[in-house]
């Protein structure tokens, strides 16, 4: 009887338009199952698709980097007698923690990780750290639950902060090599037309790229949903620790030499060209080259940027 009543309650919630993921309390995200709680944005499969491919690209690049260092006989950081590569990823606008956790899952060095061949672990010992940042304390609460759920407590941390004025990277223990983000990017005009199952359940601050926050970063006249990309492009050098005035940036140049990207951002419909230009022109020389990746539905979904 109790089960029947619960099913009835859930059917009723669904009939009122509540997304299934909130009713069931979880969703699959690539290889992970993550807890979902309203109003924190439900991680989308297309996001999982492009960021999983990004993790594969990074993994391949790290393989090249590791082999090159071994061939060059360069001194590697030694930890407990093992040669290790440091990899630090900053996930801005982390929400449920989905992207940070997915990348950590794909790159962590645990030999127990089933999805990766054991040789890879032996060949490329990684010292992986990720930090997820969100302005909403409820998002950070959920991200921490998901961190426990996925067993990635050693690899990932989360902190509540405004991504637009982030300075404290202590939890990352140094500068990130790569910044990833799925910021709010929906323009006001498009937001008005969203289905009720999105607009009435998911946090407006997770979706709307314009509005007060956008205006704070100098977009008083624009309502194109791109305010967070402009802010990120301008802040990228500071976050990565690049001084554009100095040719030798103090960055780990090996990362760039191995063809590894410095930034990867999810984008909305029709935003690819403009976000590519923002990253190339407004990052003060930090990003020299970008690509747009399409998702599994054939839609332009991510802009990836390299120093050169
Ligand atoms: C589109 S959601 C992305 C969530 C998650 N990364 C994902 O892909 O499923 C955007 C997130 O940005 C957060 N956010 C909005 N403005 C922010 C700001 N200024 N600083 C940090 N986080 C912000 C929202 O709380 C929301 O969780």
What residues have CB less than 8 Å from 27, skipping those under 6 apart? 21, 33, 34, 36, 42, 43
Q: What's the gap in Å between 263 CA and the centre of ligand 1?
A: 16
Mean pLDDT of 289-299: 98
| Residue 82 in this model has a pLDDT that exceeds 80 | no
- Residue-wise pLDDT tens digits, 115-173: 555 555 556 678 899 999 999 999 999 999 999 999 999 999 999 999 988 877 888 88
What is the sign, positive or negative, of the torsion defined by CA atoms of 107, 58, 133, 301?
Answer: negative
Nearest CA residue ID for atom 4, ligand 1: 95
Lowest mean pLDDT among 70-79, 119-128, 269-278: 70-79
**Domains detected in the chain:** 45-306 (3.40.50.150)
**pLDDT at 111 exceeding the cut of 80:** no
- Please report the pLDDT score of residue 86 as a whole number: 87
Q: Could you tell me the two tokens for 96?
A: 């449920």
Closest among 42, 93, 92, 40 to 203, alpha carbons compared: 40
For ligand 1, mutation pick of 179, 206, 213, 230 (most atoms within 8 Å of CB): 206
Please tell me the distance between residue 119's alpha carbon and the centre of ligand 1 in angstroms. 36
Tell me whether strands 82-92 and 32-35 are parallel, antiparallel or unpaired: unpaired
Q: What is residue 45's DSSP assignment?
A: H
Mean pLDDT for the chain overall: 88
How many whole angstroms separate alpha carbon 174 and alpha carbon 129?
10
pLDDT band, very low/low/confident/very high, at 73 (cuts 50, 70, 90): low
The number of beta carbons lying within 10 Å of the beta carbon of residue 1 is 5
Radius of gyration for the chain, computed over Cα atoms and rounded to the nearest angstrom = 20
What pLDDT score was predicted for residue 68? 80
- pTM, 2 dp: 0.91
Closest protein CA for atom 10 of ligand 1: 206
Going by CA atoms, what residue is nearest to atom 9 of ligand 1? 43
Query: Cα(50) to centroid of ligand 1, in Å?
Result: 17
* % pLDDT > 70, the chain: 84
Contact 77, 252 (CB under 8 A): no
pLDDT at 245 over 80: no
Tokens (6 digits) for 98: 């989905």
Q: Is residue 66 very low, low, confident or very high in pLDDT (cuts 50, 70, 90)? A: confident
Model confidence band, residue 69 (pLDDT cutoffs 50, 70, 90): confident
SS3 146: helix
- The 10s digit of each residue's pLDDT in 220-229 is 446 899 999 9
Q: Where does ligand 1 bind, in terms of residues with CB under 6 Å?
A: 41, 43, 47, 93-96, 98-99, 133-136, 139, 162-164, 182-184, 203, 205-206, 213
Q: Six-digit token pair at 167?
A: 């300075």
**Hey, which of 26, 95, 265 would you mutate to test ligand 1's pocket, going by the most ligand atoms within 8 Å of its Cβ?**
95
Task: With beta carbons less than 8 A apart as the criterion, state whether 95 and 40 touch.
Answer: yes
Report the run of H or E that residue 170 belongs to, with start and end.
none
């Amino acid at each position: 009887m109790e089960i029947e009543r619960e099913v009835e309650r859930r059917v009723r919630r669904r009939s009122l338009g509540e997304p299934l993921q909130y009713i069931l309390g979880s969703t699959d995200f690539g290889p992970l199952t993550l807890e979902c709680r309203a109003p924190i944005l439900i991680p989308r499969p297309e996001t999982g698709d492009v960021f999983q491919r990004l993790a594969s690209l990074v993994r391949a690049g790290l393989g090249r980097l590791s082999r090159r260092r071994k061939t060059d006989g360069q001194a590697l950081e030694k930890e407990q007698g093992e040669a290790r590569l440091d990899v630090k990823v900053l996930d801005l606008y982390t929400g449920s923690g989905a992207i940070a956790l997915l990348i950590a899952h794909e790159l962590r060095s645990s030999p127990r990780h089933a999805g990766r061949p054991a040789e890879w672990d032996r060949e490329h010992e990684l010292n992986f750290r990720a930090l997820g940042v969100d302005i909403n304390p409820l998002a950070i609460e959920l991200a921490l639950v998901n961190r426990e759920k996925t067993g990635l407590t050693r690899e990932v941390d989360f902190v509540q902060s405004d991504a637009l004025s982030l300075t404290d990277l202590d939890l990352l223990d140094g500068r990130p090599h790569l910044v990833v983000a799925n910021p709010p990017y929906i323009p006001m005009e498009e937001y008005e037309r969203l289905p009720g199952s999105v607009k009435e359940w998911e946090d407006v601050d997770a979706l709307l790229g314009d509005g007060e926050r956008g205006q704070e970063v100098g977009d008083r006249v624009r309502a194109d949903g791109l305010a967070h990309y402009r802010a990120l492009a301008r802040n990228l050098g500071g976050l990565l620790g690049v001084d554009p005035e100095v040719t030798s940036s103090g960055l780990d140049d090996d990362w760039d030499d191995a063809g590894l990207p410095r930034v990867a951002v999810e984008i909305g419909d029709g935003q690819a060209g403009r976000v590519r230009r923002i990253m190339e022109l407004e990052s003060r020389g930090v990003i020299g080259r970008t690509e747009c990746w399409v998702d599994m539905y054939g839609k332009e979904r991510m802009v990836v940027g390299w120093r050169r």
